[in-house]
Structure 1
């Protein structure tokens, strides 16, 4: 499975959205250099409140650009970085990847997919009603989360728009993504 990076974003302060950058530097075991969510232990406020010693399985947030067209058809305007993601991709089904997938990005960077982003009410603060577009239920009543995936940095490197994203699926039985 191959796709590409369409945008990269980071923010050194807690804010729902993240400004787009020319590049971001991924640091092994930490996340995006200078980003508020980088670190060995959890950095998301809700996770810190639960247990600040938890490992940070949410170092890098990725969203597939195709989601923007989907929510756009329902009347919502969303652009790269608006949902707080660090890397926006095109052409790769991020939500369909199994846990443990390695994403090779550009010349050096390698991310390991840890799970799904759990959409929160902040999405409605960004645009009222958007939460229902990115989190809902399927015909069987199962929760469907579309607000991207989370990952950890296995190998660091610089990531830029236009970089190739190669998904290497794990061997053995695949574990579906769960919220992290």
Structure 2
């Protein structure tokens, strides 16, 4: 990946797209999703300028929605399968399942060009919650680990906001545009 001066290359592709109009843990796979600039995924419960995640709404419903689009790398599904957890695209609540991109290694502000028109700006890491254990007992320990210093390592994908709208479908290319240095590591949002 080119990291100097905000370079852009093709790095991967879309494996699946998912949405849910209700606040459900899982999102159903669909043939295509439409991203709406500044809002999120059309027809998804998390669509909006202000935060829609229920626990965050309870704290402050006026805070900006930095979680308009949730992306998870298919490589996580493979890692979970190797640990005995069968997880399919959309089952962890993601809107876009990717392949071939180190999502967790991207800096804040990276632009993901999905398909022909859509652009998502990466805002941070998903902070997995206890609902993951309700879905599959013991899964939370697989998606939140600890590094050598005891700091949490979140592996349940990244969040972003829609900068340019457009349709996305499985098989679409993903191009990564890294911002100019200095880079800021992803933090939970």
TM-score for the superposition, normalised by structure 2: 0.94
Partner residue of 1:91 out of 87, 100, 121:
100
1:138 maps to 2:147: yes
From 108, 115, 119, the counterpart of 2:117: 108
Mapped to 2, the partners of 1:51 and 1:136 lie a distance apart of: 28
1:85-126 Cα offsets, whole Å, 9 max, x none, are: 000000000000000000001100000000000000000000
Distance in structure 2 (CA, Å) of the matches to 1:65 and 1:140: 27
Task: Count how many residue pairs are aligned between Structure 1 and Structure 2.
Answer: 180
The CA distance in 2 between the partners of 1:172 and 1:91, in whole Å, is: 23
Within a 5 Å distance, the mapping from 1:39-58 to structure 2 comes to 39-58=48-67
Find out whether 1:156 has 2:168 as its counterpart: no
- Which one of the candidate residues 76, 80, 89 is aligned to 1:71? 80
Paired residue secondary structure (2:162): strand
1:126-180: per-residue Cα shift (whole Å, max 9, x none)?
0000000000101121110000000000000000000000110001200000000
The RMSD of aligned alpha carbons is: 0.5
**TM-score normalized by the length of structure 1:** 0.99
Q: Take 1:46 and 1:137, find their aligned partners in 2: how far apart are those partners? A: 24
* Runs of 4+, deviation exceeding 6 Å: none
In the TM superposition, what are the counterparts of 1:110-125 in structure 2 within 5 Å?
110-125=119-134
Q: 1:169 aligns with which of 167, 178, 184?
A: 178
Counterpart secondary structure, 1:14: coil
Gaps in structure 1 of 5+ consecutive residues: none
